[in-house]
């Protein structure tokens, strides 16, 4: 039992850090919501290409699909370092190589593999995820989007909600009902759909942080999807979606971000005068900073434990939910406490005169409203933990 990185892991982390500092355009670091930004998007694409050329986009894929077959721990380390250095997830952990790519590798046909894996690995395609629907929310299985077979096609009709990056995406991976006769979880199938069609329309949602365009509603209107766009067999959609969500729930990006913001906050409080001494030296501030560091560590340990379970081929579903729950709740608590330490300055947004730490903590705080909802609310994570982790009865 040794949580320390070994020599190989430490050397790799150094390599990742050097790559970030040398190759990731500085203007996109700490721009988590870069996807909506037209001016910065070319720099994102450039960073994605560099990452692909380095082979890191698919470092965790098996060698036979062009990956490096590296361990889940090494991949998590990569993600943590990327997050710690402020690299946006659109570069370091986006849907193509991390969600739909692994799902295609595990469940997809050979045709689907050859159609998509090379372009994902080369960072040529940008993907978004269409799971949630209006009125569905946390009840993911209440999918109402339909895909009705018609010859060689499935005709898709319906609406997806809260689709992150929908306006940028070349492809969307979705859940749709293919057999209304089957029980609730068994008639859902999984599709990959080309967004470049006039049968899909988008509506941007205005978010509470004052931005618009990052999240979209996506409408399918009699869209013919070729049958080979189905991932796995008809009715396997729920099963595939759960495996995708499990992968997604490991909360390492929040850990990396929080570690970096805490570093910044420690420097800021040491340099800020509070009645004759530094803000840092006020006992309640110092104690709070220690508590923050503790909570981040707890999340970090939980995340690496999931990676370890993945490498051992153990069932990590409820452990992934614990990682997500801890990290999302930590993020909310951490950003809220950080704003309190900053006092009146804490409410200043990025771009405002006098905003401390470029307003990053304010931005992080507002984002935390979504964090405990996205990827399954904290309440749904607890239900998964109780029922899968402890075998407690369903209602």
Partner 1 sequence: MDLSFTEEQQMLSPLAREFLEAECPKSLVRAMEADETGHSPELWQKMAELGWLGLTFPEQYGGAEFSFLDMAILLEEMGRALLPGPFFSTVALCGQAILDAGSDEQKDAYLERIAMGELVMALALTEASGQYDADGIAARCEPAADGYAINGVKMFVADGQAADAFIAAVRTADTPDPKDGVSLLLVDASTPGVAVTPLKVMGIDKQAEVAFENVQVPADSLLGPLNGGWPLIEKLLVWGAIGKCAESVGGAQAAMELAVSYVNARPAFGRPIGSFQAIQSHAANMLTDIDTSRYLTYQAAGLVSQGDFSAPEISKAKAWISNAYGRVTTRAHQCHGGISFTKEMDIHLYHKKARVNQALFGDARFHWDRIAAEL
End-to-end distance of the chain based on CA atoms, in angstroms?
A: 38
Residue-level length of the chain: 395
DSSP assignment of 314-378, as one string?
Answer: ---HHHHHHHHHHHHHHHHHHHHHHHHHHGGGGGPPTTSTT-GGGGHHHHHHHHHHHHTTTTS-H
The residue with tokens 């690995």 is 121
Q: Give the residue with the Cβ less far from partner 1, 216 or 321.
A: 321
Q: Which of 5, 68, 113, 170 binds partner 1 (CB under 8 A)?
A: 5
Among 40, 117, 195, 322, binds partner 1 (CB under 8 A): 322
Q: How far is the CB of 174 from partner 1 (least distance, A)?
A: 29
Out of 186, 293, 333, 377, the residue judged to bind partner 1 by CB under 8 A: 293
Choice from 59, 231, 289, 361 touching partner 1 (CB under 8 A): 289
Q: Which of 273, 289, 281, 176 is nearest to 223 (CA)?
A: 176
Contact flags string 333-372 toward partner 1, x per CB under 8 A:
----------------------------------------
DSSP state of 182: S
Q: Which of 290, 315, 340, 343 binds partner 1 (CB under 8 A)?
A: 290
Q: How far is CA 296 from the centre of its chain?
A: 18
Write out the two tokens for 212. Answer: 């618009």
Residue 2 within binding range of partner 1, rule CB under 8 A: yes
Q: Which residue has the tokens 């306006």?
A: 167
Strands (E), 102-260: 127-130, 146-150, 153-164, 171-177, 188-194, 200-206, 212-226, 230-231
Phi, psi of 34 (to 5 degrees): -65, -20
Give me the torsion for CA of 387, 234, 373, 195, rounded to 10°. 170
Any contact of residue 6 with partner 1 (CB under 8 A)? yes
Candidate ranges 83-91, 218-226, 297-305, 361-369; the one touching partner 1 (CB under 8 A): 297-305
Nearest distance in Å: CB 295, partner 1: 8
Nearer to partner 1, 199 or 305 (CB): 305
DSSP summary character for residue 393:
P
Q: Which of 23, 233, 263, 349 binds partner 1 (CB under 8 A)?
A: 263
Question: Residue 109 in contact with residue 44, Cβ under 8 Å?
Answer: no
Q: Are 48 and 58 in contact, with CB atoms under 8 Å apart?
A: no
Count residues binding partner 1 (CB under 8 A).
49
Closer residue to partner 1 in complex, CB, 219/308: 308
Stretch of 139-147, 185-193, 292-300, 334-342 lying at the interface with partner 1 (CB under 8 A): 292-300
CB of 212 to partner 1, least distance (A): 35
Q: How far is the CB of 297 from partner 1 (least distance, A)?
A: 4
Can residue 301 be called a binding residue for partner 1 (CB under 8 A)?
yes
CA angle 283, 286, 292 (to 5 degrees): 140
List of residues 6+ apart from 95 with CB closer than 8 A:
126, 127, 128, 129, 165, 173
**Binding residue for partner 1, selected from 100, 105, 112, 262, defined by CB under 8 A:** 262
Shortest distance, CB of residue 311 to partner 1, whole angstroms?
A: 9
Binding of residue 286 to partner 1 (CB under 8 A): yes
Residues 45-84 that bind partner 1 (CB under 8 A): 73
Based on the shown chain and the rule CB under 8 A, indicate whether residue 325 belongs to the binding site for partner 1: yes
Q: Which residues are 164's β-sheet partners?
A: 215
Q: Binding to partner 1 by residue 254, rule CB under 8 A?
A: no
**Interface contacts to partner 1, rule CB under 8 A:** 1-6, 9, 73, 262-263, 266, 280, 283, 286-291, 293-295, 297-298, 301-302, 304-305, 308, 312, 318-319, 322, 325-326, 379, 381-387, 389-390, 392-395
């Amino acid at each position: 039992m040794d949580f320390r990185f070994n020599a190989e892991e430490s050397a790799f982390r150094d390599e990742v850090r050097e790559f970030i500092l040398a190759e990731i355009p500085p203007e996109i670091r700490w721009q988590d919501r870069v996807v909506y930004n037209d001016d910065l998007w070319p720099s994102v694409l450039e960073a994605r290409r560099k990452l692909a050329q380095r082979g890191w986009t698919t470092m965790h894929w098996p060698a036979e699909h062009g990956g490096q077959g590296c361990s889940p721990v090494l991949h998590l380390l990569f993600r943590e370092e990327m997050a710690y250095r402020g690299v946006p997830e659109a570069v370091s952990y986006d849907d193509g190589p991390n969600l739909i790519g692994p799902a295609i590798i595990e469940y997809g046909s050979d045709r689907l593999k050859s159609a998509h894996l090379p372009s994902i690995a080369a960072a040529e395609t940008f993907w978004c995820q269409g799971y949630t629907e209006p009125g569905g929310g946390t009840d993911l299985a209440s999918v109402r989007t339909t895909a009705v077979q018609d010859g060689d096609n499935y005709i898709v009709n319906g609406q997806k909600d809260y689709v992150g990056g929908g306006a940028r995406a070349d492809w969307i991976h979705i859940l749709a009902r293919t057999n209304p006769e089957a029980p609730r979880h068994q008639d859902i199938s999984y599709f990959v759909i080309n967004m470049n069609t006039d049968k899909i329309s988008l509506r941007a949602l205005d978010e509470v942080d004052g931005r618009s365009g990052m999240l979209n509603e996506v409408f399918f209107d009699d869209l013919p999807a070729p049958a080979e766009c189905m991932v796995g067999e008809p009715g396997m959609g729920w099963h595939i979606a759960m495996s995708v969500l499990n992968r997604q729930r490991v909360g390492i990006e929040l850990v990396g971000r929080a570690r970096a913001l805490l570093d910044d906050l420690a420097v800021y409080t040491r340099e800020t005068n509070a009645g004759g001494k530094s803000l840092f030296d006020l006992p309640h501030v110092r104690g709070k900073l220690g508590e923050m560091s503790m909570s981040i560590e707890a999340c970090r340990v939980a995340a690496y434990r999931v990676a370890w379970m993945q490498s051992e081929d153990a069932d990590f579903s409820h452990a992934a939910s614990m990682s997500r729950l801890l990290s999302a709740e930590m993020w909310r608590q951490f950003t809220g406490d950080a704003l309190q330490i900053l006092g009146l300055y804490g409410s200043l947004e990025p771009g405002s005169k006098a905003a401390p730490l470029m307003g990053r903590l304010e931005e992080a705080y507002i984002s935390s409203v979504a964090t405990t909802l996205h990827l399954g609310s904290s309440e749904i994570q607890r239900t998964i933990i109780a029922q899968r982790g402890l075998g407690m009865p369903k209602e």
